[in-house]
Structure 1
């Protein structure tokens, strides 16, 4: 197994959990927030996908799919076209609302771009310094692992919220059947 295969596998796993977290949920569930300051599943999936899209586009020297392939227009969100969610306030989190099909469609497009890019990388490519503003400077490999780590955290949060919502719905169904 080569480094590119490991990276591809990691991004494939993220994609699988994105689908598990989103598929079959309506907009109310996708946009539910556990408290007023919490992130929703929709925001988490949008954010992790935006971050992946931006970083991979920068590494690949391409436009992001968000701005370059019309996803910004398809989502039609009241956010700046270059927003990624970093530092969003609770009010800004509430602005990100989208149906499951749009979230997974965007994620699948970014995933395809990502695995196409990382699948062609060599170990030498991964050693290329891409950001000298850090000490030590950041290599392409480190940047991709950082994206994977961030994506895994956020998709895990989305899966957790889905699990809580499913348990809540199951309790209500049980109570209705017993009542």
Structure 2
């Protein structure tokens, strides 16, 4: 169950302008089945917001819309650090980890795209450090992670430039500022489970 934001929570008061409305995204995007797992006491976005941001990335990141099933798990530092150590060999928590689904040979086709694990305290701290609104940074992490599930990466300068340009286009289309103006980018890496 998602945590309920408090009335004075910046997640509620910092509403992004509706450049591309939820209704427009829902009409244009293919069906999305989103499983949200909340394993944190930190304030987190609503399932509706998470679905909106993931749908925007799916719509922009695929040549042809396709039905999709994915999971977003919202965690604290300990779980993020354990996954980061296990799958990336790195110490400490990170903002977002992407685990694309890999079809076993001979298995029937599925709409399953994969899982995102987002560390709420890291995202909240990064937003403050980068002087961004929490809501904008959450949207960026969901878009960034979803693009990784679609196969985007930033291992080379060329890949990073292309991915940043796509993220910027998606986020500005749904009413957020350019995410890279502060000079800070996401610290995640694509992982496979």
TM-score range, shorter chain: under 0.3
Task: Give the number of the structure with larger relative contact order, counting CA–CA contacts within 8 Å between residues 6 or more apart.
Answer: 1
Task: Say which structure is richer in strand.
Answer: 2
TM-score by length of 2: 0.23
Greater helix proportion: 1
TM-score (norm. length: structure 1)? 0.24
Question: Which structure is larger by alpha-carbon Rg, 1 or 2?
Answer: 1
